[in-house]
Structure 1
């Protein structure tokens, strides 16, 4: 037990330093696979997509074993399609948290049919979509939107229509008793892909939904991740469940659940807490929490971060490894007033996930600033094809050349201290596979065959990186920077399904 505590203390210390090399079975890259990382979601017919959603109740799980009674949006019948198209095991149940990510194209005429499948005591429900001019029919009039009444009534379906006029990242959530229903989980995301012709410098790959994030030539990216930040106050969920049990048939009195003072005790990224958020998307362990938070990249890639504040609190999203360039806020691209061709978003190392706000940013990592050779100075290789490399990043070897040949300045930690199951915190070298002149110890080869860098991405509010007040947990994940070549010498393919 003392040894376990020591391992956890050492691991926690390195996490706060922010540069941790890990191997996790859930996070490893696997060569030769065909499925790549991209934002998972559902799609509709091009030009006029129709999404049939239902609001339902189901429990969601937490890493401490708790099952939290919740409400969420889901698919009312099989969706037209999933994105990315190569995703395996994709599904859309009648309830998920967050709700299905709706992926559409700029200019689409979008229709959302919402059916109320919540328990009778929950009352009416609805959808509001900030940033869009929405027309609604059916249901009954509500304070913020037309509402779908409970099942068993003739007005339990509402149709919302809007035109996706601008690309970007948006959110949707309940507009009915939102202090309760958003807390219970009725929230989701909308992604609008740009219609602009793709510049020759931007090429859509298997890692992204599109080649550019906005109708702007400087918004190219290679892969993308969606991060929806929310929290749970479990007492509210227990009280809501008790009220549901008290009234099983209509008519029911208005549900009166106290939501203040607001003191959440679970903190989620894409509906999961660490370490569950680093499991694969659509993992069967979480039938109502299909999306994960498990960013991977290769050195030099441009990663589009789509960030949404879905809860009631502001959560400071702090990412180690580099700053990120903000592209847009609430779907509005930030460009220079005097030169619209020039992006004007700030460089940030913490994004304030304000409730109801979306932020799009570009993150990259080249090894610049480390001041050592990311491959290990003893591994024979070239940079820019030269023994004496020119400055800059080599897109072929994926190395920051001014640091080529520099030795790591400190002795790597003892792997016996930092090994914790499948996690490994040994050498910091990227792609450390060993050579005949520099063989690796057998334990290192066994635990860290591919090598890599990992950086902690998390809430900078310490209370929010706990699960039930236990660290580590909550709003935490690891960015894994994979070596461009695996241990067998083949190009690394990042497969989020493994």
Structure 2
């Protein structure tokens, strides 16, 4: 049974969209299951951050704030091992939260963009097991632009990429064994915690729009492999590479490589009718336990 991971977002009232606000989040660390449906699918043992104790999915729902907001994230660790919470290039406290302990992390939302947060402990095992997610920082005025005065968009998609090695990592870690981290051969690849069978039908993952509408795609690679994403149907413009805002958008032919623990942002404009796939441009990453097509893939559709 899929245990769902959510996020409690408590927004203080009385602030306009253009004003800095206080954003309070509560996360619970637990063990649970992630089900990949379709050919090659299975139920994976995972660890995750969730809004309710005992109910994780992977990845955690996105934390969304505005530039300049005060952000407070309280994390409760219900697992039997130490864990932490670190926003890459934003927070620096990597000290462990003991089993049955808690900690509140406070920081000011950085410049508008996409960021990875994860558990940095245990030689990447905790992140691989599912303790990862995306922090999205919007412009202070909450406009549909990538940053204040930056490129505008009509729609937005957040793609959190993950890969998991179930027999050598997940199954061993879940039962308290010692993972040999020198061997990593992932056999499941996901977009937003979904295999391709589900991601190709998920409206929160698919790119959908009318002619000439622009979608800002925020790509967050929380996996341990570099992944090249191949867009069919149209070219796209790159506005952020490895977390570095580009001085001007530049056109990319049809594929962008995103290294592990890195982010990229692209603008995809629908300029022809039809239905097209988007998939990771590696045969292995298009499978679920070796079965094609049920890995890192989704659809692009004009409606």
Instruction: Give the TM-score normalised by structure 2.
Output: 0.88
* Mapped partners of 2:107, 2:242: distance in 1: 17
**Counterpart pick for 2:220 among 305, 308, 311:** 308
Larger strand percent: 2
Matched, 1:270 2:175: no
Q: Which has the higher contact order (CA 8 A, sep 6+)?
A: 1
With over 3 angstroms needed to count, the CA separation of the structure-2 counterparts of 1:226 and 1:178, relative to structure 1, is farther
> Does the 8 Å CA contact 1:169/1:330 hold for their aligned counterparts?
no
The answer to whether 1:147 aligns with 2:147 is: no
Instruction: Within 5 Å, give how 1:213-362 maps onto structure 2.
Output: 213-217=146-150, 219-235=151-167, 236-243=169-176, 256-280=178-202, 292-335=204-247, 343-362=248-267
Question: Over residues 317-365 of structure 1, what are the superposed CA-to-partner deviations in whole Å (9 max), with x where a residue is unaligned?
Answer: 0101111111123543211xxxxxxx24453421112111111111102
The equivalences for 1:13-162 within 5 A come to 43-45=9-11, 47-63=21-37, 64-76=40-52, 94-118=55-79, 120=80, 123-134=81-92, 136=93, 145-151=94-100, 156-162=101-107
Q: Secondary structure at the match of 2:288?
A: coil
| Runs of 4+ with deviation above 6 angstroms | none
Q: RMSD between aligned alpha carbons?
A: 2.0
Unmatched tracts of structure 2, length 5 or more: 1-5, 13-20
Shift of 1:311: 0.5
Q: Distance in 1 between matches of 2:250 and 2:262?
A: 16
Residues of 1 paired with 2:215 and 2:249: CA distance? 18
Residue 171 of structure 1: which of 101, 108, 116 is its match?
116
User: Aligned partners of 2:240, 2:266: CA distance in 1, in Å?
Assistant: 7
Aligned residues of 1:455 and 1:479 also touching (Cα < 8 A): yes
Aligned partners of 2:201 and 2:298 also within 8 Å:
no
Task: Report the secondary structure of 1:124's partner residue.
Answer: coil
Deviation sequence 1:154-188 (CA, Å, 0-9, x none)? xx111111111200111100011142111111000
Confirm or deny that 1:464 pairs with 2:275: no
1:147, distance to aligned residue in structure 2 (A)? 1.3
Normalised by the length of structure 1, the TM-score is 0.55
Q: State the 1:226 CA deviation.
A: 0.7
Whole-angstrom distance in 1 between the partners of 2:206 and 2:251: 25
Are the structure 2 counterparts of residues 95 and 41 from structure 1 closer, same or farther at C-alpha, using a change threshold of 3 Å? Answer: closer
> How far apart in 2 are the matches of 1:330 and 1:350?
15
Give the conservation status (yes or no) of the 8 Å contact 1:171–1:358. Answer: yes
Unaligned stretches of 5+ in structure 1? 1-39, 78-92, 137-144, 197-208, 244-254, 282-291, 336-342, 368-429, 431-452, 483-498
Higher Cα Rg: structure 1 or 2?
1
Aligned residues: 287
Q: Distance in 2 between matches of 1:41 and 1:191?
A: 14
* Structure 1 residue 76: Cα displacement: 4.2
